[in-house]
Structure 1
């Protein structure tokens, strides 16, 4: 109410905060995490040894030249080698390595300069290869390229394009849905404007935070996704209640006060719950999730503060002008002042309340059936060839190269460190490791740094089951040699596959404490808000059903390929390894938006003296419009991410979109009311040992000015 009575100060203060956060964040820049910071286990130790020694692993590139006949590639390979050398960007071009049948040859070389800058320097190399490919096509010569620099550049370009696509698609989509929901341009622009300014401010704050906690490149995409979703939701809940009170005959000041005391409180409880749930990601032990936690906490906090400060100020300033720019046929209300969606919800709710046991069992069975495929969920760190899709040029090249030269693009890497790498114990250890590594192993000794590397090709594509078994055997061999060595010799296995396996192992260890933390926090917050153990327990159970259904759909679509083509995706045989934990945390947080909003309205009706069934009916019908609108916007935003190029973004969009859809329909409209009806008065019972908890009133404030304006009929 302070904001409503000091409109200019609140509005200008918000704008000043957004501008300062953006300018300061942009001036300080963003610090991204290094490979050894992102990793865990032996692979991270191997990377750290190289970093500490100042050894920059050069970005390697592979180009395969193929012909229809044996040795038919020689002239093309020679021409390409000269063209690559002339770019001035490459070095150490090795002689062509023929395949077993002699019809293909592999050119191996490294990019000049630091590996971190390789992606920015690789374009001339890509142009030279593209020119050779075009020239060779006329002579039946095939050319395929894959490597560290080329794949990273492709990844960076895709991420940039995808983020732009998400921004320019999600925002107009959300605005269009709000136009339909409110039927007025100003009312539709308000939630989008608040969400965007919250995201912009949070971007600046995240840049500042990145100097203490380094972040991953995709963190900004996750932040935008969450910021747009919760920013619109919080504003929508607030605005819906204010408009409903005005439609019921309240004056502007009273309607705003009621919205603040009801929806505003629900936003605070929901926002706090989301932020604390996100904090659970700090327990994962992985820097990726710590970055996600900081990003989501920042954007939710900013959106929540905006919805209870600048939003009331704007509503007080706009008054009836909130309905400016009305769209014909989209701004009609029923005689009772409720939105038409309330009557639709009432019709749908009637059979649910009449037969609660049947609908509770049916809804639970449906969610469990959707969750069933998750029993066989497999997770892995998807390689770039899977991230881009099988038809992408980079994926085609990767497959072609690994078929002819197995293990080439992604070898395991044994890193050896000793007090003196030239000493007899160190030489003996290196000799033993090279023998254990087998055929094709390449040894590089950095004598000045007392460090050595052994590149070990892995079978197949270097990422499949065969390669994983070979990696596990190699690690056992290295551990055995290391334990039997003397002279302070250390040896650890790194490489892409090793990093993926270590990451997955840490995730499997971290998901249990994260879940326990989130469940405990959710329980306590719901307990303090509603003074009911039953409400707290059912909240967790309903959220788990939503998460399980999301897992099942993700597994069915992306691991088994059921219906993947319908969304422009394909079967990849696994789920991105960080996705289950991320989806769990985000859905536990977002589900509380709806749950707190709906249950608060039910409790509000209960505090006014209505019976349990009537309170449920009123709470569901009165919140149906806001929940439906919020859910449609969230699903639409997540669906945009489901159409992006990257496989992990697709999985995130589909998983979150399906979960929110089910949560707003099956859970909130069927399972929640049927379950609360069956539980009856036990919903609101406070055990004797918990009666010391503070009583939080959920009833709307009543004052003389809150009564409907007098009419001639009343007079």
Structure 2
């Protein structure tokens, strides 16, 4: 692979104009196709086979919803002080305003607070339900502005009027704050690469790759059910790895120039060596993301596939376009100060190692103990982590949907947001009604039950719906316990009362999804850890190096989830990160962090340790190889880690809670892995292990393929070309 990439680097540099025009043409064509086909993101988060899902399917057959998935908005109203919604003046005002809402051509129906009987006990709070003719995602901004203006007019009259529901609120998959992360990345790149022109290059190629990947994802929405929030993960990853991968190749190119190689030769060498590591690291990230499919959750599979697609386009743009632009820029790329000549230098490389390398290799045990103790401490909150699904109650109080959520909680209790639906199936006999009432009375006695509504029987006469409102919210552990209690009682109820019951509704479905994800997490971790061990064994031809890498990954993973739990669930530093309330960790976040962090951790492991192995094969000196790895790759890994943190920080500043939490987890995951694990613990462990770190059984070495990530074959070919170039004039002279 290294030799192929070496030749590709030469070809791209030679055909730089064709490569650039071709890549831009691809992006334009993909954009035209994507926009002509339209954007068709789905928001389906169900999992086939769950108990609540099966019950839901039975319920939908018996009680078909003629309105389907039409968008709905609730206009939540609170009367001014010393007034109520039941007064004649209030009724007249609300009736007039709701007629204005109904005048919108997109509105199918409006049901006021007097028709839906939503007034609370003291008649101070109620809501109107607005149903549209289209799904929530398709409600136009014009219609949203119309209902918003009506809410504003009510506020001007002294009322509190807030809006909530999928007909008004749409998840933001992107935010202007993401641009701040890119600006920070540009500053880091400018410092690392010595000039603004060179610093812009990784962002440019990352933007091309991300744009192409996003267009492919949009095209895919016409054929696959891809949730809109998949774009957030894909955007984070595509941008971050695209910048990092370009940085790795540019940094190696500058090193080759400093060693005296001709420009095009340096480009080809960088593409063959660093490019090999880029391809391997990128493929590792892709495998981890595609591994989401092992969990058996359709929307996670779609998220992983979308993320893998943007990583793939980032790899392709890096190995094709970066060499072309480097050739185009020519001497404008600043060459670092030459540390030594390519041959004839008497200065020992080890003596030029930076202070950090000298500290870690000089005090390896202290470095390892310090790093392990720090990450272990940060990981402690992980052991009481609770997971659940997000809601509007986690948003900023400046948002109308958050204020509407709080009003509904004030009026009807937290349980309003987490109703449970019991589906009761009877034999239709004479005693069926009495038995059904008996079940309702029994459910009323269960702990944490606020209200049990009368049963609604379907057309068949055998299936009924019983709505149960708990006293606690949808993510509360008491609500989860209530769902499990009802299910535990189901066999006894069926035996005594001849009624088969099941629990469903959005709350029960979300509880089941969370449980499914939590059960899948250990299995997914084992798959990822096993994959990491095998891949790293192939790359580094070592037994202990992969074990060390896997243990380091586990440490950084534990610290990441522990820190997220500490902030999001326990409520620390919430003002610093703009979180507005304590909440459980998003249920799919741990699996996403495992997959993504694994891929990124392997990136840094490959770029750092491959240079150590390259030096060890030359000198046989283990400590010298650690110093060489830190000297040659430590700065690049530092810059790459800072860039990742900068990009993900842009997502922390987003308004959408789901995006914020993903940004927080990935930013600190990279921070822990790149700076504590890879630059502190790894060099310390490698120094302590010495030559034994590179032990590999000869029989296993012969059995496994050699991936040549360091580009040994490339450097051998370059050396042969150099010798041939030196010998040829002599041969001609002798001839």
The TM tier, using the shorter chain, reads 0.7 to 0.9
**Equivalent residue for 1:43, pick from 52, 55, 62:** 52
Alignment gaps of 5+ in structure 1: 137-141, 324-330, 711-715
Choose the corresponding residue for 1:18, options 23, 27, 32: 27
SS for the counterpart of 2:421 is strand
Indicate yes or no: 2:246 matched with 1:206: no
Counterparts in 2 of 1:288 and 1:425: CA distance versus 1, 3 Å: farther
Matched, 1:257 2:268: yes
Partner of 1:611: 621
CA–CA separation in structure 1 for the residues paired with 2:324 and 2:437: 74
The structure-2 alpha-carbon separation of the partners of 1:610 and 1:256, relative to structure 1 and needing over 3 Å to count, comes to: farther
Write the mapping of 1:481-630 to structure 2, written as runs, cut at 5 A: 481=493, 491-630=501-640
2:10 maps to: 4
- CA offset at residue 353 of structure 1? 0.8
Query: Cα distance, 1:674 vs. partner?
Result: 0.8
Name which of 333, 337, 341 aligns with 1:333.
337
Partner of 2:363: 355
Assess if the C-alpha contact under 8 Å between 1:403 and 1:460 holds in 2.
no
The answer on 1:287 being equivalent to 2:304 is no
1:435 Cα deviation after fit: 4.4
Q: How does 1:244-393 map to 2 (within 5 A)?
A: 244-323=255-334, 333=337, 335-336=339-340, 346-386=354-394, 388-390=395-397, 392-393=399-400
1:239: which partner in 2? Answer: 250
Segment drifting more, 613-622 vs 185-194: 185-194
Task: Identify the match of residue 153 of structure 1 among 168, 171, 194.
Answer: 168
Residue aligning to 1:227: 238
Distance 1:612 1:449, change over 3 A: farther
Aligned residues: 683
* Displacement of 1:593: 1.0
1:29 to 33, 38, 44: 38
Describe the superposition over 1:253-284 as per-residue Cα deviations: whole angstroms up to 9, x where unpaired.
33123212321111111111111111221111
Contact 1:132 1:143 (8 Å CA) reproduced = yes
Q: Work out the CA distance in 2 between the residues paired with 1:343 and 1:401.
A: 68
SS in 2 for 1:456: strand
For residues 137-195 of structure 1, the C-alpha deviation after alignment (integer angstroms, 9 at most, x for no partner) is xxxxx43545434xx62343xx05xx141443333332232222223333222211111
Aligned to 2:731: none
Looking at structure 1, the residues matched to 517 and 203 of structure 2 have their Cα atoms a distance apart, in angstroms, of 35
Compute the displacement of 1:343 (Å). Answer: 9.8
TM-score scaled by structure 1? 0.87
Secondary structure of the structure 1 residue equivalent to 2:654: coil
Tell me what 2:729 maps to: none
Q: Counterpart of 1:32 in 2: which secondary structure? A: coil
Aligned counterpart, 2:151 = 129
Conserved 8 A contact 2:422-2:504: yes
| TM-aligned CA deviation for residue 472 of structure 1 | 3.4
Structure 2 equivalent of residue 111 of structure 1: 131
- Partners of 1:611 and 1:665 in 2: CA distance: 25
Q: Which runs of 4+ in 1 moved over 6 A?
A: 342-345, 420-426, 448-451, 483-486
Q: Give the aligned partner of residue 78 of structure 2.
A: 65
Q: Displacement of 1:590 after TM fit? A: 0.6
Q: Identify if the C-alpha distance between structure 1 residues 34 and 550 changes in structure 2 by more than 3 Å, giving closer, same or farther.
A: closer
Q: Partner of 2:345 in structure 1?
A: none
Deviation at 1:423, TM superposition (A): 7.7
1:402 aligns with 409
Structure 1 position 411, deviation (Å): 4.7
SS in 2 for 1:640: helix
Deviations for 1:81-101, whole angstroms, at most 9, x for unmatched residues?
33213421343335255544x
How far apart are 1:227 and its partner, in Å?
A: 0.4
Distance (Å, rounded) in 2 between the aligned partners of 1:223 and 1:209: 13
Residue 181 of structure 1: aligned partner? 192
**What residue in structure 2 maps to residue 326 of structure 1?**
none
For 2:447, the equivalent position in structure 1 comes to: none
Please tell me whether the aligned partners of residues 164 and 400 of structure 2 are also in contact (alpha carbons under 8 angstroms).
Answer: no
Q: How does 1:442-457 map to 2 (within 5 A)?
A: 443-445=455-457, 447=459, 453-457=465-469
Q: Deviations along 1:505-538, whole A, 9 cap, x unmatched? A: 0111111221111111111111111111111111
CA distance in 2, matches of 1:416, 1:31: 33
Quick one: distance in 1 between partners of 2:565 and 2:418? Answer: 29
Write the distance in 1 (CA, Å) between the matches of 2:192 and 2:648: 19
The answer as to whether partners of 1:36 and 1:45 remain within 8 angstroms in 2 is no
C-alpha separation in 1, matches of 2:156 and 2:462 = 45
Query: Residue deviations 1:338-384, cap 9 Å, x none?
Result: 9xxx9997111112111211211111111111112222212111222
Structure 1 residues 299, 117: CA separation in 2 closer, same or farther (over 3 Å shift)?
A: closer
SS of equivalent residue, structure 1 residue 492: strand
- How far is the alpha carbon of 1:541 from its aligned partner? 0.8
1:54-99, CA deviations, whole angstroms, 9 ceiling, x for partnerless residues?
Answer: 5237736362433544757523244213321342134333525554
8 Å Cα contact 1:422/1:447 also seen in 2: no
Given that 1:62 and 1:409 are in contact with CA atoms closer than 8 Å, whether structure 2 keeps it comes out as no
Q: Distance in 2 between matches of 1:166 and 1:337?
A: 45
Whether contact under 8 Å (2:604, 2:637) holds in the other structure is yes
CA shift at 1:221, angstroms? Answer: 1.4
Find 1:467's aligned residue among 474, 479, 491. Answer: 479
Q: 1:82 aligns with which of 87, 92, 96?
A: 96
- In structure 2, how many angstroms separate the alpha carbons of the residues matched to 1:213 and 1:42? 25
* 1:36 CA drift (Å): 6.3
In 2, distance between residues paired with 1:109 and 1:25?
Answer: 35
Single out whichever of 651-660 and 37-46 deviates more from structure 2: 37-46
Per the alignment, in what secondary structure is the counterpart of residue 241 of structure 1?
Answer: helix
Q: CA deviation at 1:35?
A: 3.8
